[in-house]
A and B are shown apart, each in its own frame.
Chain A
Amino acid sequence: METIKHVINTLFAPQYLVTLVIIGLFLFYRYRRVVTQNKLVAYSILAAPVVFFAVSTLDPNFWVQFKRPDNVPIAGMMLLVLFFTWLALKKAVQNDDRIRDGRPVAEAEPEEEEKVFIWPDLVYTELICLLLVSILLTVWSIVIPAPLEEPANPQLTPNPSKAPWYFLGLQEILVYFDPWLAGVVIPTFIVIGLMAIPYIDTNPKGNGYYTFEERRSEILLFQFGFIVLWVTLIVLGTFLRGPNWNFFGPFETWDPHKVEALKNVNLSDYYYYWLLDQPKPEAPPDADVITQLWAIFRREFVGIFLVLGYFLALPPALVIFSKFFRKMFIKMGFMRYMVMTFLLLSMGLFPIKMIARWTVNLKYFISIPEWLLNF
């Protein structure tokens, strides 16, 4: 038992958890027919987290975190997201088969096109939903009291200090990015990116019915963002981050004295100390602005070129060298293509920075503490 717990604790470490969720998501969509049509597999996948929660609550360390009243909705959310992703995929697979056979999708069957009166069908469905939600809410409120801790005290900082649970994905990103990115720029980009979706996605197919094969990349990208970068990071930030934002496995005690070595290194350190074996360029403290700027630029130029290249040179390079992207460019037009690649590349920064951190302990691509600008 202890060995199993130890293995699970290890597997829930950020680098493994995120990787496993990505692989899981890929397999889920790759073997979508098995997942949705083989009853045994389907029920196992849907029941697995419930069983995991049920068995894990026997562990005192797991129970301490799980039973916090504010954490209950997150457990519910995990199950709901899994179920609805599965449900949508099931309907998508059925529709894809219909499309392949040249039949109309399930939503377009003649009897489905028939118009029915709102009263009584829809009004009663809504009433039932409403009653069920009311019952759920009432029972939930009776069973679990809302948390109230000690009175607010500005002198006493709790460890860990956590944002509300729906922002914990962003707080988790703070591990990889500085606050100006994780707390300001990235949320803004998420909102802008979401709002831009209908104007970027010009695929006319899949409007008003479930499908996967007609919109593969759209669905996979969205689910990567939603399930991996949002839901998984919230779960990670809620259940697996303890004092000092250190990682703790689901069956570990939150030990406030756990120390993790700070071994993260900037790209410029790699370049100058490891590759060239020489000190970094530095301007004398009394030098004029231009000299200082030049010194900073020479110190960070590898990172600056990498980041600029990533955002500015990669989109046109893809058009030139990749047939797929060339077609896309012609179809979408200049503006739309540039906006889309910019947003996608921004999203791609997450896995890149995460992998760089996990493998080579990279701290920043560009580190200019003089201007509080770390990238």
Chain B
Amino acid sequence: MSGFGQRLKDKIGSPSQWFGDLTRTPVWKSLFRHKLPTDPKNRALVVLTNVFLHLHPLRMRKQGMRISYTWCMGGISFFLFLSLTVTGILLMFYYRPTAQHAYPDMLDLMESASLGLMREMHRWAAHLMIITVWLHMLRVFLTGSYKPPREFNWVVGVLLMVLTLLFSFTGYLLPWDQLAMWAVTVGSNMARATPLMGVEGPGAQLMAIGDVPLITAGSDMRFVLLAGRFVGEGALLRFYVLHCLGIPFIFVILLSTHFWRVRRDGGISGPGKGGRLAL
């Protein structure tokens, strides 16, 4: 090697030198307080002191970690929820929930927005999340994990599943195309048949004061849902707010409860002592 090349190489140093130096900088040390943990004590510390990992217990039975036991469906559902939040926030920058702008904004998203995969990612992740939530439920049922002491957490899980469907349903309207409008029309038409509270539901005539009916097309359950007598701009705004703020608010509260209860009820279910073994 020529003298110049050697000198240059000495100046630049090797990758191990760069990273060796990097890990000694104050910035690195402030980010990662520990080295890659290789001994039990440090591994425990990593899980305990990390805001994301502390959802986990320190140690767990081997069986509860097996992917053939858990199918990882709960974890995947949660990951999809996070992906949906990220892609959803990005989409909100490009979207205005008005009859005038919603559809053109979709076209803009497809044609001119950079990273034009966000809409696809958001839609397919939503569909996938519904499937993984159902499979999570199937796994929990087939392993009998709803049995004591986890009864209440199953109830929370059912509510989360319903909210997942409502998430998807409210989001379905936002593209404001034919598919969206008529799917939501079909779905919300059902509300018209709510017993007592829907204009075409059984017993709606009974809801009257004298000759004045209380339940009309302008005051029944469907009207509440759509903010109008048909799927129009009011419904679009209502669904948008529910999709981006209302349902996420309830969802996150229930999700925290769900995770918290998994830990409080003894971690991932397993045989023996009513499953109360972890931690």
CB-contact partner of B183 in A113, A162, A206, A222, under 8 A: A162
Name B's interface SS: helix
| Contact flags B179-202 to A (C-beta < 8 A → 1, else 0) | 111110111011111110010111
Q: Which residues of B contact A166 (CB under 8 A)?
A: 130, 165, 168
Q: Which residues of B contact A164 (CB under 8 A)?
A: 168-169, 172, 183, 187
Number of A-B contacts (CB under 8 A): 286
Give the Cβ gap from A26 to chain B, nearest Cβ, in Å.
17
Give the Cβ gap from B168 to chain A, nearest Cβ, in Å.
6
Give the Cβ gap from B137 to chain A, nearest Cβ, in Å.
8
* A184 to B220 Cα, complex, angstroms: 14
* A112 to B186 Cα, complex, angstroms: 50
Closest to A187 in B: B190
Binds A, one of B4-12, B14-22, B150-158, B254-262: B150-158
Q: Which residues of A contact B246 (CB under 8 A)?
A: none
Of A88, A122, A129, most buried by chain B (CB within 10 Å of CB) is A122
Q: Which residues of A contact B127 (CB under 8 A)?
A: 70, 73, 165
* A211 to B37 Cα, complex, angstroms: 38
CB-contact partner of B143 in A153, A178, A208, under 8 A: A208
Q: Which residues of A contact B158 (CB under 8 A)?
A: 191, 194-195
Top 4 closest pairs, chain A to chain B, by CB:
A183-B190, A141-B120, A179-B193, A198-B151
CB-contact partner of A73 in B71, B131, B194, under 8 A: B131
- Taking a contact as CB atoms under 8 Å apart, the answer to whether A84 and B177 are in contact is no
- Taking a contact as CB atoms under 8 Å apart, the answer to whether A167 and B187 are in contact is yes
* Residue A201 lies at the interface, judged by CB distance under 8 Å to chain B: yes
* Residue A91 lies at the interface, judged by CB distance under 8 Å to chain B: yes
Closest to A151 in B: B103
B residues at A contact (CB < 8 Å): 37, 40, 43-44, 46-47, 53, 56-63, 65, 67-69, 71-72, 75-76, 79-80, 83, 99, 103, 106-107, 110, 117, 119-125, 127-128, 130-131, 134-135, 138-139, 141-148, 150-151, 154-155, 158-159, 162, 165, 168-169, 172, 175-183, 185-187, 189-195, 198, 200-205, 230-232, 269-272, 274-275, 277-278
Q: Which residues of A contact B57 (CB under 8 A)?
A: 118
Q: Which residues of A contact B230 (CB under 8 A)?
A: 154
Give the Cβ gap from B236 to chain A, nearest Cβ, in Å.
9
Q: Which of A56-108 contact B (CB under 8 A)?
A: 70, 73, 76-77, 80-81, 84-85, 87-88, 91-92, 104-108
- Taking a contact as CB atoms under 8 Å apart, the answer to whether A126 and B72 are in contact is yes
* A107 to B75 Cα, complex, angstroms: 20
